[in-house]
Structures are given as structure tokens and as C-alpha cells.
Amino acid sequence: MNRNNSKTIYFDNAATTRVSDSVLEAVIPYLREQYGNPSSIYSLGRQSATAIAKARTQVANAIGCSPSEVYFTGGGSESNNWAIRWFDSVITSEFEHHAVLHVCTNPTLLPVYANGIVRPEDLERALAENPDTQLVTIMTVNNEIGTVQPIADLGTICKNAGVLFHTDAVQAVGSVPIDVQSMNVDLLSLSAHKFHGLKGVGALYIRKGVKLPSFIVGGAQESNLRAGTENVAGIVGLGVAIEEAVSGLQSKNEQLLEKRERILKTVMQLPKVRLNGDLERRVASNLNFSFEGIEGEALLLQLDFKGIAASSGSACTSGSLDPSHVLLALGLPHEIAHGSLRISMSKYTTDEEVDYLLKELPPIIEKLRAMSPIWRD
């Protein structure tokens, strides 16, 4: 397996996932035969409207809410923008996705420590120091290091304080159980392409009683809150994908954990390597390493030459030469943060692919360190 082969060994599922066969089968009719505008009153339009209603119910069932509380969007970043942009006083964490951090105006930032976990007591302290807080937004799972945050505890604190609580669950759906009621969540963002749906479609959960302004005006779609003809095929695919994603979750995670432990055991035997983020409180599909003396982009190019697709951080900032803000928030120095590798798997990741990664990665690390002017064995 190398660049001359057509097959890519894919370890970047936190960036995006392949569309599942059942999702593809479900969406094709809504591109070719059942393509009616859902706002039309004739049967072709009503079929599309019915399909959207079914998908809304599928999403609601997956996250534990009412279908009337689910609003379809163009993806996770749009959902985050819609949930956050109206609030002036916001508490969030240092390592949120930029679709959260760049929307907030002068937010209060909670630390995430070396293990990449927000501490509930820090939120309690921040709320006491900022009594005018209107919204708290903390991601359920970090997109780079895969750590799972204590969302239910944070949600309870916000509920007791009378402050709205939003969570970016883009990396969480299909990896951890989601129940907006037990988590005390008022607003939740998700994106289909992170769990084998199509790109360009997502959803925002808005708890009944929470009033947000219309995100796009000019039409009556999504209860007059997001104008524009619906992406019927994408929404249908989202419904199928989320239903699949939450089905058999424990069994899928057990299989991923076996693969994750094999990778972890081999990689941690290399010299001067660090696992970023808490080992136990993280999703089964994610590992994030930093290699001393290695430049991340060089590592990715060498892996790509061998036919392996991986990441050194968030796909949304892959064009930046700056070190990951997530790793810097953990306390890593710049030179170590630059040498990171994110390995993220899915239900389609095979044992053979793990074998190939573990065969190719160590000699690449050795080669790059031999070329590095800053590496000292």
C-alpha cells in the first residue's frame, strides 16, 4: 500500500467520514425522482416534506428531545453560530472549535488543564465572578484530542444558575450517548458528515421555551427561523445516519477500543512521544500524539506518501502554520505542539489498516528525526 495504490488508508474520521451505503441508498431517490420542493402543495412536494418530518423524528429520538425542537442547518459551524452569536456575555473553554471561539465576543475562558478536561468547579467560580453571564458553551467531545467533557455536571450548574447551556456535540454523536434532558442542555449542535452522513447538513437542538432570532430571513422554513429551500437529500441522509450512529454504540466502541489500544501500545514505545489528553475520558476512536523533534506537516506528507491519511489537528485550520490552540491550551510548548498527529477511526477501520499504520509510522518518525536539526536522541 503506497501512493501508487488506489486505496487510501483513512485515519482522519474526525475531519469527515465516508458516507454509509444505507445513507447513499436513502438519498439518491431525493436527488433523482422525489425531488419536489417541500413547500409545494402537490404530491411530489408533500413527499419531500414527509421525508423531512421523518428525519426530524430520527434526530429527536437519537438525542432525547421532541421533533419540534430540532432545526436543520447547513452543518455544525452554522449551528454553533446560530446558538451563540446573539449573546454578549459568554463563558466557554480555551480549546473550543473556532466555530465557537470566533463567534464569542470577549468570552470568559475556562482552563482545560493537561488532561484536556473542563472542571465543574471552574465553571461555578466563573459564574459567580460573572453574574451577567447569558450563555455557557462547552463542547461535548474535543475535536482534536477526543476528550469527553462532564456535560451533565456543567449543565446542572448552568440550570441552577439560570443560565442557558449550549454544547457543540459535532464530535460526540455516534461516539458517546447523548440525552439532552439528562445532560441539562438547552442548545446542541451536530453535523451529519461526522457520522457517515453527507457534508453540508446539520442540526441545532433548541429546547422548547428558548427563543433565538431567525438565523436566515426570507422564508417560512424551519418554523420561520431559517429561510431557504431545504436540503432534502442531505436531511434524509442525516436521519438515516444518526439512527445508525446511535444503534449498537457500545459494541462499536468496544471494537474501536481494541484497535486504539493496539495503536497506543506500539506508538508509546517510541522515544519522546506524548499522548495528548486524558486516556480514559476520551472517545474510543481518537488518539492524539506529539513527537518531539518532528514537524507535523512533514509527518503528514510522509504518511500520505505511504497512502495513509491522518491529521495534525483540526481540518478547519489545516492551512495555518500556527500550532494547535488546543494543544497550547494543554500547556504544550510550541515546538512540541507543532509535532502532533491525530489518528481518528470509524466503524469502517479494519485491523489490516491498523497493522499497516503501525508498520509504516515508526520508520517515518525515525527518518524525520534523523533529518531534524532540533532532535537529540
Average pLDDT over every residue of 257-263 = 98
Among 65, 104, 158, 316, the one annotated catalytic: 316
Grid cell for residue 211: 427563543
Task: Give the pLDDT band of residue 10 (cuts 50, 70, 90).
Answer: very high
Sign of the CA dihedral running 198, 148, 259, 353 = positive
> pLDDT by residue (tens digit) across 167-204?
999 999 999 999 999 999 999 999 999 999 999 999 99
pLDDT score recorded for residue 282: 98
Task: Give the pLDDT band of residue 375 (cuts 50, 70, 90).
Answer: confident
Alpha helices in 268-320, H assignment, sequence order: 296-305
Strands 202-206 and 286-291, by their bridges, are: unpaired
Rounded distance, CA 106 to CA 102, Å? Answer: 10
Task: Give the pLDDT band of residue 248 (cuts 50, 70, 90).
Answer: very high
**C-alpha dist (Å) from residue 235 to 55, 70, 241:** 6, 12, 10
Grid cell for residue 226: 431559517
Give the three-state DSSP class for 109.
strand
**Catalytic (active site) residue 158:** no
pLDDT, the chain, mean: 95
Instruction: Classify 352 in phi/psi space as left (phi over 0), alpha (psi -120 to 50) or beta.
Output: alpha
**Nearest CA among 72, 99, 65 for reference residue 178:** 65
pLDDT score recorded for residue 76: 98
The DSSP code sequence of 304-361 is HHTTEE-BSS-GGGTT--SPPHHHHHTT--HHHHTTEEEEE--TT--HHHHHHHHHHH
Grid cell for residue 18: 465516508
pLDDT score recorded for residue 111: 97
Residue spans per domain, the chain: 9-18+248-371, 21-246
Which class would CATH give 9-18+248-371?
alpha beta
pLDDT score recorded for residue 43: 96
Q: Does domain 21-246 have CATH number 3.40.640.10?
A: yes
Strands 202-206 and 187-191, by their bridges, are: antiparallel
pLDDT score recorded for residue 5: 53
pLDDT score recorded for residue 161: 98
The yes-or-no verdict on residue 358 having pLDDT over 60 is yes
pLDDT score recorded for residue 1: 46
C-beta separation of 92 from 102 below 8 A: no
> pLDDT by residue (tens digit) across 140-157?
999 999 999 999 999 999
Rounded distance, CA 325 to CA 333, Å? Answer: 11
> pLDDT by residue (tens digit) across 122-144?
999 999 999 999 999 999 999 99
> pLDDT by residue (tens digit) across 269-290?
999 999 999 999 999 999 999 9
| Top-confidence residue, 2 or 107 | 107
Bridge partners of residue 282, in order along the sequence: 147
Alpha helices in 118-248, H assignment, sequence order: 120-129, 151-161, 221-224, 232-246
Sign of the CA dihedral running 61, 85, 164, 124 = positive
